[in-house]
Amino acid sequence: MKRKGITFLTAALLGAAALLPVSTANAVAGPGTADYNLSGNTTVTNGQNVFVAEAGASASAKSTAEFTVQGGPLQLVAVPDLNFGQANLSTLMNGGTQALANNGVNAAANVATSKNKTAFDGNSAGKLIVNDLRGSTGGWTLSTAFSGVFKAINNPDLNNITLSLSATGANQVAPNEQLNLAGTNIGATALNVATAGATQGKGATTWTVSGPTNASLTIPAQSANISANAVYQSDIVWTLIAGA
């Protein structure tokens, strides 16, 4: 008798299902199907590419928008040219300091001695820019080397001159994050002048090295016979490496 009761119950349930409207009896509810990726409480009728909206109600569905972040490089974007103006002959002969005047340098073929005689000035605003697009940064270090040897056409070399730098960097990701550019008596041996810690320096960090407080030369007494109006130039080497 038990088995007969179960049979009757099953038949009764099937009969009830047959009485339901087609849109309900054959419906598949979310969270999704392999064919239509429907989610939420959306109803789709089997065998049809349609949403079923009952009278007085709407059918809605959710799909997914996605993108993957691609990390970029660690870049040294811009370095500044530094013009220390007109140095008095007495400063060169007796020694002294010379403050930064501006960022425009002479690139004339009959004057330039820097950068293999191609002292092109493409950065007259004095910008120094590091751009870290790696995503999860591990920090970075910027160093500066300065030979200390200034050359001028048809004039003797000036030697043992050192460079000092001072500026505060602005970071686009963390505006309140201050990365200082600082180095005193920079010479031929590279000196670290800016360091971003493991979680610092994301995106672009920009320093403006354009005024007398941002850079200066320390000049020891020179014994050379120097011509007036001679234009002296020297190379500055900026090196950016990953890691703090």
Q: Whats the size of the chain, residue-wise?
A: 244
DSSP H helix total and E strand total for the chain? 3, 14
Nearest CA-CA partner of 93 in 191, 241, 226: 226
pLDDT at 202 > cutoff 80: yes
Q: What is the structure's pLDDT at 135?
A: 86
Q: What band does 21 get if pLDDT is binned at 50, 70 and 90?
A: very low
Q: State the average pLDDT over residues 229-235.
A: 94
- Average pLDDT (171-175) is 90
What's the confidence (pLDDT) of residue 17? 38
Q: Which domains does the chain have, with CATH numbers?
A: 19-66 (no CATH), 74-222+229-242 (2.60.40)
Q: Are 233 and 121 in contact (CB under 8 A)?
A: no
- Looking at residue 181, its pLDDT comes to 97
Asked whether the beta carbons of 202 and 75 are under 8 A apart, the reply is: no
Query: Would you call 92 helix, strand, or coil by DSSP?
Result: helix
Tokens 């990953």 correspond to: 242
Q: Please, which residues bridge with residue 171 across strands?
A: 205
Has residue 39 got a pLDDT over 80?
Answer: no
Using CA atoms, how far residue 226 sits from 101, 111, 236, in Å, is 21, 15, 22
Angle at the Cα of 118 from the Cα atoms of 84 and 237, rounded to 5 degrees: 60
Contact 193, 182 (CB under 8 A): yes
